[in-house]
Structures are given as C-alpha cells and as structure tokens.
Amino acid sequence: MTELQLSTKHLLGIKYIQRSDIELILETTHQFKEIINRPIKKVPSLRDITIANLFFENSTRTRVSFELAEKRLSADTVNFSASASSVKKGETLLDTVNNILSMKVDMVVMRHPAVGAPMYLSRHINANIINAGDGTHEHPTQALLDAYSMMDKVGSLDGKKIAIIGDIVHSRVALSNIFCLTKLGAKVRVCGPPTLIPRHIESLGVEVSYDLDDTLRWCDIANILRIQLERQELKYFPSLREYHLHFGVSLERLEKLDKEIVIMHPGPINRGVEITSDAADSGQSIILQQVENGVAVRMAILFLLANRRDEKL
Ligand code: CP
C-alpha cells in the first residue's frame, strides 16, 4: 500500500486540497478497488481506529458507503443520527461532538445542513474530520468518486469536456466537482436555467450555457444534478414539466448526438425531471458504477487520513 501522505489532516473540501492530494487519493482508490473485488474484502488497516459517522441531514449513498468502507478497513464505528439524538433537546453541535469524542473517537465523518460546520469543528476538536456534505457548500468525497468514475471510463481528464447540468446554485456536488475537475485539467461547463446558475461562476474557471442540446453536443461527459426542491424557497422555474422540457436529459436527446457521451448523476434521482429513466438506465450511464466506486474512494480517504493521525492535529 502507498507510503505517500496527504498535505492535509482533514478533508473539508476540494478547494483546500492540492492536485497531488487528489491524485494520491485516486491512485490509492485503485488499490482498494482491487482489494474489495477479492473474495476476502476486509483488510486490517484501521483496526485500532474508531470512527463516528455524524449525520445531521438525510443520506442513503454517502452514509452506507462510509459505513461499508470503515467495515472493510476493520475500523470500529459509531453511527449518529441527529433526528434520534439530544440535538432535538437543544444541544449544540460542539457539545454533541465533544461528548462523542470523549468516548475516544479518532475520526469524524460529518454531514450537516450548515455551510462550514466541518471547518468549525476542525478548529475545536482533536480528530480528523471528513466533510460528507455541508449545506450548499462542498461534498468532497462525491467529487472524488465522480472523478475516479470518469477516469475509469475515459482515462485522463486533462482537456476532457465535462458538463455539469441542472440546479447548480443549490448544489454542493457542483462546487466540489468544479474544484476537482479544473484541478485535474478538465474543461468544465455548467448548464441550466439562469435562475439556477450562480452569478460570477465563471470566476471559478468554468463556462456557462443555458442551452442543453448545445451542451450535450459539446461535452464528453454529462454530470446531471438533482433539482433540490427542499432547498428552493423561491420559485426558480415555472413548473417541473417546463424544467424537464428545457433541461431534462432523455434518451431521445442523447440519440440525436453524433457521439456517445457518458451520463452521470450523484443521486438521488428525480426520474422524469432532470433525467428520464431510459437515459438513467441506458448503456451510457455509469450511475451505479459511481456508487460502487464510492466505497473504494472513501476507503482511500480514511486510510490516508489515518496515516496522519500520529501528528498533532
Ligand atoms: N450523492 C449523495 O450524497 O447521496 P446521499 O444524499 O444519498 O448520500
């Protein structure tokens, strides 16, 4: 297994890590993917490490993926769900986490609806923090598994044209993908209705389009994002039907292209809104490979961060 080290003791966001960190995580992922495809999938790498999975917001993929990654690495785990905790009685984030850490927890995986919650914790507690999604800010492990899945399919991302389509303004996946893909040398375009694209997003090194068909013709890979109705207090488009008409990816649209592009979606999918079932389930789609790769990516991140545990945090 690799001897190299990450430049960071926490994974708070892709913005805060270097291209060399991303490359080290993706190379280590490759080694773990081989391991979890063996008949005996478990390795003793994190045998003496205890990890708390703190989920203050709903999750299916990320939570199950982290739990599986931790079990495959032989870590001890404790799972915390805000809805069934003393958070409901008014306990603060810091008190909640300090109480859990006093039970000798080494690493914390945290999803929280507040932007910056993992950064705040990293300044107050003595454990490695992994951001599993903070509000509309970042979802770094999703971006890393997306990049790994893209490279698994098309090789190096240097110069590849990647479109991120849909609800960009509410999406932590979009922001982490933009940081990750531009660091890896890809050309990135965001596409969606003007109301769902943040102003000045070009300053992050991406281009903007409001034309789905032109974007599908342009790209090699389309990463399609969920319309996040739960984060939309305003009306950003007239109706879901109208959104689908202009920005819904369908097999009919894909078959009009003179090439086969790769279709991705981080999940959960609103079938029939941002993508139709025939496109999501088509041979061009790698949506389930993304989920599969998530376990190996998270094993790599946990393993590499655990290698930095002996240093002062
Ligand atoms: N992609 C993703 O974060 O899915 P979950 O919300 O189910 O974890």
Domain range for 201: 140-290
Which residues have CB under 8 Å from 36's CB, separation 6+? Answer: 72, 295, 296, 299
Q: Please give the pLDDT value at position 109.
A: 97
Tens digits of residue pLDDT in 9-33: 999 999 999 999 999 999 999 999 9
Q: Is the pLDDT of residue 98 over 70?
A: yes
What is the band of 76 on the pLDDT scale with cuts at 50, 70, 90? Answer: very high
The stretch 290-304 carries a mean pLDDT of: 98
- b/e 216-233 (16+ beta carbons within 10 angstroms → b): bebbbbbbbbbbbeeeee
**Does 238 or 296 have the greater pLDDT score?**
296
Tens digits of residue pLDDT in 20-71: 999 999 999 999 999 999 999 999 999 999 999 999 999 999 999 999 999 9
Same domain, 146 and 99: no
Task: Say which amino acid occupies 38.
Answer: R
3-class SS of residue 199: coil
- The closest of 164, 131, 88, 136 to 233, measured between CA atoms, is 136
Q: Please give the pLDDT value at position 122.
A: 92
Same domain, 186 and 124: no
Same domain, 35 and 160: no
Tens digits of residue pLDDT in 198-218: 999 999 999 999 999 999 999
How many other CB atoms sit within 10 Å of the CB of residue 211? 12
Same domain, 47 and 88: yes
How many folded domains does the chain comprise?
2
Please name the residue whose Cα sits nearest to atom 5 of ligand 1: 59
Sheet with 50-55: list strands edge to edge: 76-81, 50-55, 107-112, 128-134
Task: Establish whether residue 61 lines the binding site of ligand 1, counting it when its CB lies within 6 angstroms of any ligand atom.
Answer: yes
Please name the residue whose Cα sits nearest to atom 6 of ligand 1: 59
